[in-house]
Amino acid sequence: MSKNNVIEIPEPKLARFLFANTRFAWFWLVVRLYVGWQWLHAGWEKLHSAAWAGSAAGTALKGFLTGALQKTVGANPDVASWYANFLAHAVVPHAWLFSYIITFGELLVGIAIILGAFTGIAAFFGAFMNLNYLFAGTLSINPLLLLIELFLILAWRTAGWWGLDRYVLPELGTPWQEGKIFKK
């Protein structure tokens, strides 16, 4: 396909304002602080629990997974068989390892989102964790966080404007535009 056949469809003005205009960055700061706090708090609690990241690491996760695996029966199971199979054969045997991965993943996502450092990437990993909780049949705050994180991913250009992204991204660049560090 030649360059002449490429058609670019412009963003609607509302989408450009919400997701690419720094005048709306204050809103994303508020959203980031809320989402980041949720992850930081969850990870912090796990970090200080022996059943998650201590002498009995994996115990709490095994209990959670046992409950999830029990939700695979009935006419309308809460947990799909393919996901239950993944949990039973990949996660349960290594619950202690996944326990640490979840704990530190939640902490890192929370810290990155609060600081506005690689906000879009951090929101992606937060959304990934929320999806896994949802696949395991747990609602709680997960649908809300997932929805907000999807918007943070869309707003990656301005979501971290009042944060480290404002300074880090111009230096490092993006996959399609090299930053100042790599131009030297």
Lowest mean pLDDT of 13-22, 125-134, 138-147, 174-183, name the range: 174-183
pLDDT at 1 over 70: no
Q: Where are the domains of the chain?
A: 26-51+60-183
pLDDT in tens, 15-65: 999 999 999 999 999 999 999 999 999 999 999 999 999 999 999 999 999
What confidence tens digit (pLDDT) does each residue in 81-138 have? 999 999 999 999 999 999 999 999 999 999 999 999 999 999 999 999 999 999 999 9
* pTM, rounded to two decimals: 0.91
Q: What is 73-119 written as a DSSP string?
A: -SSS-SS-HHHHHHIIIIIGGGHHHHHHHHHHHHHHHHHHHHHTSSH
